[in-house]
Amino acid sequence: MQAGTVHIIGAGVARLAAGVFLAREGRAVRIYETSPNAGGRCRSFHDAVLGREIDNGSHLLLGANREAMRLIRLLEGEDRFWKLEDGLPFCDLRDGERWRLPPSGGFGKIMASVPGGGGGMGLVKLLLAGRNATVASCFPAEDNRYIRLWEPLAVSILNTPAARASAASFRRVLGLLWRAEREGMAAFVPKQSWNDALIAPMVEAIRARGGELQFSRRIRAMVIEGGRVTTLRTAEGDIMVASGDTVILATPPHVATMLLPGLEVPQDYAPIVNVHFAVSSPESRSDSRAIHREAGMDAPRVRCVNSGHDVLGIIGGAAHFLFFREGLISATTSAAYALAEEEDEAIAAKIWGEVRQVCHPERSEGSHAVGDPSPLAQDDIPPYRVIKEKRATFACTPENLTRRPGTRTTCANLFLAGDYTDTGLPATIEGAVVSALRAVAGVSGKCK
Ligand SMILES: Cc1cc2nc3c(=O)[nH]c(=O)nc-3n(C[C@H](O)[C@H](O)[C@H](O)COP(=O)(O)OP(=O)(O)OC[C@H]3O[C@@H](n4cnc5c(N)ncnc54)[C@H](O)[C@@H]3O)c2cc1C
């Protein structure tokens, strides 16, 4: 075991990933987490109303998320994910048109897969756009491929409305997708939950190497003396940071700036709204995929080959993506400023209407076959849970990008990690893992 404990504040993806990497290097790791569970913004919990475990948000990874995928392989966790071999299916609510983005083949193939023309000139403009340009400023608003491809990709990846989203950031993501050797657009979703697929395996890996996780332990303040952190203050007493110890501050940005006054961080956040509908009890296997099939959705065009879990992108609706899992249909809306202000009942009714429309177009007016057991054939909304994450991520605007701090701080033994740090990536699982790798390099004295 190398000398010096690494104290990690927070147990989100970035902190746990840092814990995994450090524990593998033989460092003593101690993680303090304010909530009773790990996962942060990528957490799962048992929902009493739905009677099952759900994720706070239906996260999606892409093949191009290289470091996140590498971490999953390190944890031997590939089997806990479904891979959407056939790419991402989409449906346009305005005219019912359906298509599928291929998992690989470059932008030519991706653009060609979207019905209707346009998009080419806007893409050139995006490639040449300056630091203050927004995604929307690069494309004509009525351009078909902008509406069906570039705008939805930008909004869901950057979690920011295209009119405010940084063109430079989107260009960077497209560059990563472009350079991904194979299947950069292949989507990965957990078979059960994010806790099962990623969070619990990270916790186990840390504990297996002697790492310690202390839950319900909020760090209230850090004492800084002589240019280094010497004490972490908690309600239960002080934690001494010995001379060879280091600290990774891995809280969300609004907490980081409270613990380290003067730290500049992105200022405004963008919400994400998720609605989970329980379409059958977990015991019964009459599941959401049956609905998928019933609606003709498992025609080869729109079905992923190997999974009991499908994803469908939606254009022209309040929902942006639907995730189908056994007994559960979950809808995600990114940059959901307006939706997040609505009452839960109104949100659920609106989104359920869209689910019925895409899964059962001919029955969306309420006419359905006698004896049809599908919840889609009923006007009643099935049991649901609305989760509004008002601070889901920082808004990826040109102004906010200039406020992202680096890994190093003014304290010699303090490093930052988290999706808001200056990784060059949007606030995503990949960004969180990259930030962890940088903090680990800092702790190991390799930070540039
Ligand atoms: C609804 C939703 C959907 C998303 N979808 C996707 C997606 O599809 N793909 C994708 O890649 N990303 C997605 N993201 C983004 C992704 O979840 C985040 O980028 C990632 O989880 C951030 O991890 P983090 O470790 O940086 O921060 P966090 O998860 O915020 O972790 C910070 C931790 O610090 C703890 N903490 C706070 N204060 C203290 C304190 N004083 N003392 C101790 N602990 C403290 C918190 O409780 C938390 O556990 C989504 C996010 C949300 C909310």
Predicted pLDDT at 297: 43
DSSP 353: H
- Is the Cβ atom of 218 under 6 angstroms away from ligand 1? yes
**pLDDT in 10s for each residue of the chain, 448 residues:** 457 999 999 989 998 999 999 999 999 999 999 999 999 999 999 999 999 999 999 999 998 999 999 999 999 999 999 888 778 889 999 999 999 988 887 788 888 999 987 767 888 999 999 999 999 999 999 899 999 999 999 999 999 999 999 999 999 999 888 877 667 788 899 989 999 999 999 999 999 999 999 999 999 999 999 999 999 999 999 999 999 999 999 999 999 999 999 999 999 999 999 999 998 754 443 445 444 444 444 432 233 323 344 799 999 999 999 998 878 899 999 999 999 999 999 999 999 999 988 876 544 443 333 334 455 655 689 999 999 999 999 999 999 999 999 999 999 999 999 999 999 999 999 999 999 999 999 998 855 4
* Atom 15, ligand 1: residue with shortest CA distance: 428
Extents of the domains making up the chain: 5-60+193-268+395-443, 105-179, 270-391
Predicted pLDDT at 360: 62
Q: 12 C-alpha to center of ligand 1: Å?
A: 5
> What CATH architecture does domain 5-60+193-268+395-443 belong to?
3-Layer(bba) Sandwich (3.50)
Which atom of ligand 1 lies at the shortest distance from residue 38's CA? 49
Which atom of ligand 1 lies at the shortest distance from residue 272's CA? 1
Q: 95 C-alpha to center of ligand 1: Å?
A: 36
Predicted pLDDT at 185: 80
Predicted pLDDT at 222: 98
- Is the Cβ atom of 257 under 6 angstroms away from ligand 1? no
Q: Cα(388)–Cα(336) distance, rounded to whole angstroms?
A: 9
Predicted pLDDT at 377: 56
- DSSP string covering 138-180: GS-TT-HHIIIIIHHHHHHHH-S-TTTSBHHHHHHHHHHHHH-
- Is the Cβ atom of 183 under 6 angstroms away from ligand 1? no
- Is the Cβ atom of 219 under 6 angstroms away from ligand 1? yes
* Atom 23, ligand 1: residue with shortest CA distance: 13
Predicted pLDDT at 447: 54
* Atom 5, ligand 1: residue with shortest CA distance: 59
Q: Which residues contact 202 (CB under 8 A, 6 or more apart)?
A: 16, 17, 19, 20, 38, 75
